[in-house]
Amino acid sequence: MTTPGEEMHALVERLYPLCRSITGDGVRATLDIVGEYVPLRVHEVPTGTQVLDWTVPQEWNIRDAYIADGSGRRVVDFAASSLHVLGYSVPVSARMPLAQLREHLHTLPEHPSWVPYRTSYYKPEWGFCLSQETLDAMPDGEYEVCVDSTLADGHLTYAEHVVPGQVADEVIVSCHVCHPSLANDNLAGIAVAVFLARALAERTPYYTYRFLFAPGTIGAITWLARNAERVERVAHGLVLACAGDPGRLTYKQSRRGDAEIDRVLAHVLTASGRPHHITEFTPYGYDERQFCSPGFDLGVGSLSRTPYAGYPEYHTSADNPDFVSPEAMADTLAVCREAFAVLDRNRRYVNLSPYGEPQLGRRGLYDSLGGRSDAKQAQMAMLWVLSLSDGEHTLLDVAERSGLPFDTVAAAADALRDAELIKA
């Protein structure tokens, strides 16, 4: 029987060959596969649509691309890897000497066997990405250059999956679907989001969870522009990226810095004992910067393992399925599940017997602890919940102040609520 980590890795391997960009059939093919795992509502937004301060660009699609030497042998071939073409390359069919061709070639001299990932979304360019070793082996002479692509009016495509909750307030979970063959920076985040959605659907969560599968930057901006009336319902949010590498977990705070999601992730990571790092918000990175822009100021943070540009394989052909592991993705998924379990149970309560300590024994609350190995801890949790149930403190406040595990505090609150000593 396969584990969730192995299933996520298999999804990464399946998505890896597709040529994705900010628009085009590669995005649609990606969403078609994701739709086999969770039902999606797919949106198509026409070229030219004004979205906040941006405009939906023309749609880019590519069928073939290569550089061939004088014998007709393809020395660089898009069919071998979608990274070989500069993203959004305009069509070209020409013959030219290597000296002229070099102006359109991108390599990584410091990693001569790797192919870089490069794009030119908003400036008409064409180009190829190749290893330095390949370039060094190309003799002077004339080469045939072909990019069989189209850049024309079309659509920007994104998709949503909703896990209904007990309330209409929403938690946004966002991942980007615009990168081509990059396993960690893109596909691992998609895989974790998919399996997180499936896990949440196994129960009825408190919040409604909205999963966004959209191209980076322009996709989030488009969603925000088209959902102005829904933004007020967004209580919390999390952007997933770089979710499968071997590094420690990193949580980047929202712009607020003290949003509930920030506190929940810090508590869960610390309480779990996992190696981790908490970083402050910066207006550079993934789509948390769109959700946290001043006009929206949503409580949206970002969870990754090694952050963007923090590992040598970032945006190169070395970010392949071998670079990500089932174990790392399973660990990222587990943290998401733990964090959302806290988020869903984090309430404020009011003590219904606030004058003096209520008699817990008479209500059978002490008896219910008999034989428990954590009886003293559970008893202390009840006392702390009663003490801080003033309508101002949340259960997370109680856990942080008391030093007790959140699950113990939440269980105490459940028992006290059932005994009608507190109410939400």
Q: What is d(CA 169, CA 118) in angstroms, rounded to the nearest whole number?
A: 38
- Residue 315 in marked binding region: yes
- The predicted pLDDT at position 373 comes to 59
Query: Which segments of the chain have a pLDDT < 70?
Result: 367-373
Q: Where are the domains of the chain?
A: 4-57+155-345, 59-152, 348-423
- Residue 236 in marked binding region: no
Pick the CATH number of 4-57+155-345 from 3.90.10.10, 3.40.50.1820, 3.30.530.50, 3.40.630.10: 3.40.630.10
- Torsion-angle region of 143 (φ positive above 0: left; ψ -120 to 50: alpha; else: beta): beta
Does domain 59-152 sit in CATH 3.50.30.90?
yes
- The predicted pLDDT at position 99 comes to 97
- Residue 185 in marked binding region: yes
- The predicted pLDDT at position 365 comes to 83
- The predicted pLDDT at position 368 comes to 57
Q: What is the pTM of this model?
A: 0.95
Pick the CATH number of 348-423 from 3.40.50.300, 3.40.630.30, 1.10.1060.10, 1.10.10.10: 1.10.10.10
Segment 226-278, tens digit of pLDDT: 999 999 999 999 999 999 999 999 999 999 999 999 999 999 999 999 999 99
- The predicted pLDDT at position 208 comes to 98
